[in-house]
Every structure is written in C-alpha cells, then in structure tokens.
Structure 1
Amino acid sequence: MTAKPAARDFLARLPLFDELAPAELEQIGRHTADLHVAKGDIIFRRGDPCSGFHIVIYGQVKLAFVSAEGNEKVVEIIGPGHSFGEALMFMEKPYIVTAQALADTLLLHVPKTVIFEGLERDPKFARKMLAGLSRRLHGLICDVEAYSLSSGTQRVIGYLLKEAERAEDGGRVHLEVSKVVLSSRLNLTPEHFSRILHDLSARKMISVDGRDITILDIERLRNYEGR
C-alpha cells in the first residue's frame, strides 16, 4: 500500500518529520488517516483511549477541561501545522482534555504503532519527538507563568502583540476564535476581556470592530502596564 501523496507531502513539511528519509515518510504516511471534522464536532473526550496523535492541516481545534458544573477552561487552541496528543500517546494514558473543532477542520491521525516502530529504528526521530514535546511543555510553562504573574491587561496585550507579529498587516489582528473561547484561553471571564478591550480602545491604543482589532499605537501598547 502506498502513502497518500497529500499526507506524505504534508508530513515532510512538519519540523517533526523534516529530517526523515523518503522511505520513512512513506511508512508513516501509509498508516496515516484523514479525519474531516465539522465545526463544533467533538474529536475526542476526556477519558477516551489515546491511539495516536493528530496534526491539523486546516481549521482549528480547542483543547479544554469541562467541570462537572459544565464550566469550560480552554487549555490550548491548535492551528494548522501543529499537533496534539503526543505526550499521552507515549504515556499510553487516556485523554485528559476534550478536543473540539472550532471550524471545519482536516486532521491527520498518526497511529502510535507506526511512531513506536520509527523510534526503535531511528534515534534521530526520537530526538525530534522529544524536542517537539519539550517545546509544548515550555509553552505551557510560559502560559502558567503569565496567568500567575501577569495582570489580565498584560495577558491581552501580550496576545495582541504576538498575533500582530504573525499577521501580514502588523497593525491589524483578526480574532480567529470567539471572544468567549479566547477569554477562557487567557484565563479571563468574557466580561473582564471585554472591559480590557474597551479600556485599550478608550485610550486610543486599539480600535475594535467585531473580531477585527487594529493596533493604533504599538509603542504605547507595549509599554502600558494596565491593571
């Protein structure tokens, strides 16, 4: 069985797999499955068995905890080119979060059996997997630090500045997710998030039009301490 060209080519562009030989990519791609998920659909729930990991080709995926009372805490928002589920795959533990598509999404599912076989064959592959997991852990630690030591305003400003760096037009940020989801990701209530945007807008540092935010004075925004 030959790997699907789209899956093989996409895997080759990912940092995790970019040093693998064509034959190794062929082997992984041969066992990789496409998963089309409609907006709002659940990919897996907390407690489901983890049989591999997922890579986002297009769309967005929300990873979240849901309390017994139904309250949700968004842990991470995964976009194109990024993966999720590797750590639990290696631990052979059930999922500890629920994954839901925030938009119509195409995923690649890579089964753990083919990854474990690759690790046994190639130490370089093992090092790249470890590097990827380390980057994810570092990002989560930075998030915990921001939640613990930064004010709500600083968290929102940090998010806007980071998104502005990625945007083609550095002065304009489009919120790809709802303000409710984003406020949960930043460990804020939706009301607090809206008040911060209103304050920054009143101070003429940003303007807000629905999900479009224009940065009017990036230097003042960088240096604003807020509350």
Structure 2
Amino acid sequence: MIHNQIYHCHNTFSVKLSELLTSPALGLAVEKLPFAEFIDRLKEEYSVECRRQHVENILLHRGWLESEDESTVMVTLSERTARLLKRLGVEWPRVDEAKMTDMMAMALRERLDFIKSIDLFKGVPDGVAREIAFMSKERVVRAGFDVTWEGDPASDFHLIISGNVELQKTSKAGWLGTIMILGSGDFIGLDALFGGRSNVTAEAIMGDLRLLSIDGAKLSQRLLMAPELCFNALAAVTANSERLEGIITNID
C-alpha cells in the first residue's frame, strides 16, 4: 500500500503476447519473428505509404519514439497482496484464448467491414466472416511485381483492398496478353481453393496493391460449412466467365 491508501496488484500469471496471438484457438494468421527480423520488417513496412501509420503506432505504444535519454521505471510490488488474496481463496484467472475472439474482432474491425462489403461474402454469417478475417493476412505488392505467375502452384486466395491488378495469359506463341484489369473488391487465386496451379499471371499496376491473402486450403474447408459462401463463389465465377466471353465476342 502506498501513501494515497490505494492497493496495487496485478495478475501473477504472465503471458507472452506472441504466444497468445499465435494460439491455434484464435486462428489468427500471425507471423512470429525474432527481434532482429521484427525490426527489419518494421523498416521495410515503414517505406510503404499505406503501412507507415501502422508502424508509427507500434513505435509509439512501445515507447520507441521517446526522445528522452532516460525514462522512469515503475515496478509494482504486490507479492504480499497476492499471498493475502490467495489465503482468502482468490485466484487470478488464466487467459482463455477462446474468450478473446470479440476483442480480436474489434481490433480487426476495418478488415472485417471490408470483407462484409464484398459481394463474395454477402449473406455469410457474422461468425464465418470473422473467421475469414482472422485467417487472412494483409500484404502490399509494389507496382510491377507479380502476385501470381501462370503455372505456379496456387496456395493463397487474394482479396484486393486497394490498387489495381492486370491479369495476363500466355498465348501459344509465347507472348503475354492482358485479359482483365481488377480493382478493389475483386479477388485473385480461385485455383488455390482446389490445390491447383495459377492459370493467369497477376501483376500489380499503377501504384501499390493492398491485398488480404488467405490460405486456400483453409478457405476451402470453410466453404464446406458455409453454403452462402459456396453460392456466392459460383456466382462470382459465372460473372467472370461472362466478362471473358464478352471480350472474346468483341474480338470476333
């Protein structure tokens, strides 16, 4: 107890955030890195305009933006309080990852709202949309770089948050021809749902491309349990086929 008569105590069960966020119970697509690689990743992400604010938030909350040479270190001494509480039958609860899904959904609210706004996920139950948000990972592809390459194994399904993608197909003569331009709300990599190979080359054009990448095998399993998502996927494939048929008709 300190001078102002306030008791200070804290949960005696320490939890590493990296272990918590990578727990299978949450189902988050989180990558755990050694500290040196984490710093390198921050430097890399900071050079990308759309990721800069996120990096600044990390630096701010970790106190790495402080300009002071020294800072005050506070240590809460609560061993006596913890022993007294234990004698009274009070036990600190351990973290239950399964009960943190609502908090994670709030943290990923922007991502979840984007997923719900796409026709592909229209009418899908909130729980399914939340799982998809959890299993997705945001990526930024610089202009001129490929997202997929024709003939390569397709492992990820991609949702376009912002930016543009040029879909290209190799002709029998060996030259690449543009067949479609995609933008926000469109998707790439439907082949990943079936464990196949990419049938097109997808290149980021006209600036940085922001994507949500989802493991194709995991999304395929989710399709089996969400009929609404299956029907929406079929409708999307049909719409793309009609667009391609229109291109062929116009060429003829």
Please give the TM-score of this superposition, normalised by the length of structure 1: 0.60
Offset of residue 70 of structure 1: 6.6
How many angstroms apart in 1 are the aligned matches of 2:243 and 2:171?
Answer: 24
The CA RMSD over aligned residues, in Å, is 1.9
- In the alignment, which of 167, 183, 187 is matched to residue 79 of structure 1? 183
Change over 3 Å in CA distance of 1:104–1:21 after alignment to 2: same
- In the alignment, which of 106, 115, 126 is matched to residue 230 of structure 2? 126
How many angstroms apart in 1 are the aligned matches of 2:163 and 2:247?
Answer: 23
Gaps in structure 1 of 5+ consecutive residues: 149-227
Q: Percent sequence identity over matched residues?
A: 24
Offset of residue 5 of structure 1: 2.4
Q: Which has the larger radius of gyration?
A: 2
Offset of residue 121 of structure 1: 1.2
Amino acid in structure 1 at the alignment position of 2:200: V
SS at match of 1:50: coil
Equivalent residue for 1:101?
Answer: 204
Determine if the alignment matches structure 1 residue 54 to structure 2 residue 137: no
SS at match of 1:75: strand
How many angstroms apart in 2 are the aligned matches of 1:129 and 1:43?
Answer: 21
Equivalent residue for 1:136?
Answer: 240
Gaps in structure 2 of 5+ consecutive residues: 1-25, 27-103
- For residues 168-198 of structure 1, what are the alpha-carbon distances to aligned partners after superposition, in whole Å with 9 as ceiling and x for unaligned? xxxxxxxxxxxxxxxxxxxxxxxxxxxxxxx
Determine if the alignment matches structure 1 residue 29 to structure 2 residue 119: no
Determine if the alignment matches structure 1 residue 41 to structure 2 residue 145: yes
- For residues 103-144 of structure 1, what are the alpha-carbon distances to aligned partners after superposition, in whole Å with 9 as ceiling and x for unaligned? 211011122223222222122221111111111111111111
Equivalent residue for 2:214?
Answer: 110
- For residues 82-114 of structure 1, what are the alpha-carbon distances to aligned partners after superposition, in whole Å with 9 as ceiling and x for unaligned? 11221x234432112211110211011122223
SS at match of 1:104: strand
How many angstroms apart in 2 are the aligned matches of 1:48 and 1:94?
Answer: 5
SS at match of 2:150: coil
Runs of 4+ in structure 1 over 3 Å off: 66-71
SS at match of 2:127: helix
SS at match of 1:48: coil
Cα pair 2:122 2:232 within 8 Å, conserved? no
Please give the TM-score of this superposition, normalised by the length of structure 2: 0.54
SS at match of 1:95: coil
Offset of residue 146 of structure 1: 0.9
